[in-house]
Amino acid sequence: MIKNADYQALDTVAEKIINGLELTDDNLREFLSLNEEEDIQKLHYVARKVRDHFFGNRVFLYSFVYFSTYCKNNCAFCYYNRCNKIQRYRLDLDEIRRLAQAIKKESIHMVDLTMGEDPYFHNYPERFIDVVKTVKEETGLPIMISPGVMDDNTLNRLHESGANFLALYQETHDKELYRKLRVGQSFEERKHAREFARNNGYCVEDGILTGVGNDIDSTIISLRGMQKGNPDMVRVMTFVPQEGTPLELVSQESSLSELKIISVLRLMFPDKLIPASLDLEGIDGMVHRLNAGANVVTSIISSDSSLEGVVNYDRELEERDRDSRSVIKRLRSMGMEPASQDDFNRIIEKQQVTPILVPVAAL
């Protein structure tokens, strides 16, 4: 489909995808196996064509607030896992309110409220509900929550309090690999929380890691697993070994595989939100990810913020350039523009009314 194709043939591939062509596993295998630079650029070209058809040159921006780095879990890949002897913080409600007031002045479309599975909030969900209410009250913006697995009742209460989006990454839909990554956590409970949220008024985001024990077959299992959940946003991130974790000494792959998977996600989920995270390679990495077919910039943090990211490529750097002004300046140099808030609200309103269809046999 891509190898040996000229640009006219690539335009035809993009058109077929726009008109509803579904990729087979053989197509996915072909795309994920590409390793010549020229072929990979062709894959990105088709992905951009498809993205531009649905979104033009408009990009969405999410602000990232990591308000508690405490966690009761022990994910093998994560810097914040409970066994890692690191300095942690938890913001109180006044600090979160002040942060929300600052965010209101930034040009962003949604606030992402992230925490580890912190027992302070998980055992007393009303504390988290207060956080959501406060941020909604101060910003009036759509809110994404990334709190880990929460029960159905709490998810409903959070939604009533102003949460619009649930981000809950499976990391992999390959169950054997899941056991090694999300040590001691239920695969099904995680999947259920996303499904429940999707059927009860939320938009949902699923995500996978690459470069950590996933070969092409395992990646295809994950891509198909994500597809079954009908998510509104789909993410892939390159595994980065983190100091003090069991996977600290695993060597890090380049972002090549992530960029290919972003393009494949665009071809599988043509009209969905796909992020270019600033958390891995900063603003230069954002450009590569947008050129691979992404249409959302995530992990925007004000230049004067001392809060954590998740992977934190800039943990050791004195200056960060992940504020919305730097992002918008770079977007414009690429011929792209921030979308309007109305554009974003329309997308989440439309997606919130499309429930997951449960196959009859499963009823």
* Selected range binding ligand SF4 among 40-48, 78-86, 199-207, 352-360, rule: CB under 6 A: 78-86
Residue tagged 């997951």 (tokens): 356
CB of 169 to ligand SF4, least distance (A): 8
Contacts of residue 351, Cβ cutoff 8 Å, sequence gap at least 6:
203, 232
* Selected range binding ligand SF4 among 68-76, 159-167, 242-250, 295-303, rule: CB under 6 A: 68-76
* Residue 150 exposure: Cα atoms within 13 Å on the Cβ side: 29
Give yes or no for a contact between 278 and 298, defined as CB atoms under 8 angstroms apart.
Answer: yes
Residue of the chain from 17, 32, 61, 75 that contacts ligand SF4 (CB under 6 A): 75
CB of 205 to ligand SF4, least distance (A): 14
Query: With b meaning 16 or more CB within 10 Å and e meaning fewer, what string describes 213-251?
Result: bbeeebbbbbbebbbebbbbbbbbbbbbebeebbbeebe
Q: Helix 278-291 crosses helix 256-268 at what angle (to 10 degrees)? A: 60
Residue of the chain from 142, 148, 285, 293 that contacts ligand SF4 (CB under 6 A): 148
Residue of the chain from 45, 80, 128, 202 that contacts ligand SF4 (CB under 6 A): 80
* Selected range binding ligand SF4 among 21-29, 69-77, 91-99, 188-196, rule: CB under 6 A: 69-77
How many Cβ atoms from other residues are within 10 Å of residue 322's Cβ? 25
CB of 247 to ligand SF4, least distance (A): 12
Give yes or no for a contact between 290 and 59, defined as CB atoms under 8 angstroms apart.
Answer: yes
Is 116 near ligand SF4 (CB under 6 A)? yes
Nearer to ligand SF4, 133 or 182 (CB): 182
Helix (H, G, I), strand (E, B) or coil at 38: helix
Helix (H, G, I), strand (E, B) or coil at 219: helix
Q: How far apart are the first and last CA of the chain?
A: 38
State CA 283 to chain mean position distance.
16
Q: 314 burial class (0-12, 13-18, 19+ CB within 10 angstroms)?
A: middle
Is 81 near ligand SF4 (CB under 6 A)? yes
Is 145 near ligand SF4 (CB under 6 A)? no
> Number of residues in contact with ligand SF4, rule: CB under 6 A?
9
* Selected range binding ligand SF4 among 22-30, 72-80, 93-101, 195-203, rule: CB under 6 A: 72-80
Nearer to ligand SF4, 60 or 239 (CB): 239
Of the candidates 87, 86, 83, 67, the residue with the CA atom closest to the CA atom of residue 75 = 83
Residue of the chain from 71, 158, 261, 294 that contacts ligand SF4 (CB under 6 A): 71
CB of 79 to ligand SF4, least distance (A): 7
Cα(18)–Cα(16) distance, rounded to whole angstroms?
5
Write down how long the chain is.
363
CB of 308 to ligand SF4, least distance (A): 10
Residue of the chain from 18, 30, 53, 73 that contacts ligand SF4 (CB under 6 A): 73
CB of 35 to ligand SF4, least distance (A): 30
Is 231 near ligand SF4 (CB under 6 A)? no
* Residue 273 exposure: Cα atoms within 13 Å on the Cβ side: 30
* Selected range binding ligand SF4 among 14-22, 75-83, 268-276, 350-358, rule: CB under 6 A: 75-83
Is 232 near ligand SF4 (CB under 6 A)? no
Nearer to ligand SF4, 154 or 352 (CB): 154
Residue of the chain from 117, 138, 174, 205 that contacts ligand SF4 (CB under 6 A): 117
Is 245 near ligand SF4 (CB under 6 A)? no
Of the candidates 57, 165, 52, 71, the residue with the CA atom closest to the CA atom of residue 115 = 71
| Tokens of residue 245, six digits | 């974790």
Beta bridge partners of 203: 165
Q: Which amino acid does the sequence have at 255?
A: S
Instruction: Point out which residues bind ligand SF4 (CB under 6 A).
Output: 71, 73, 75, 78, 80-81, 116-117, 148
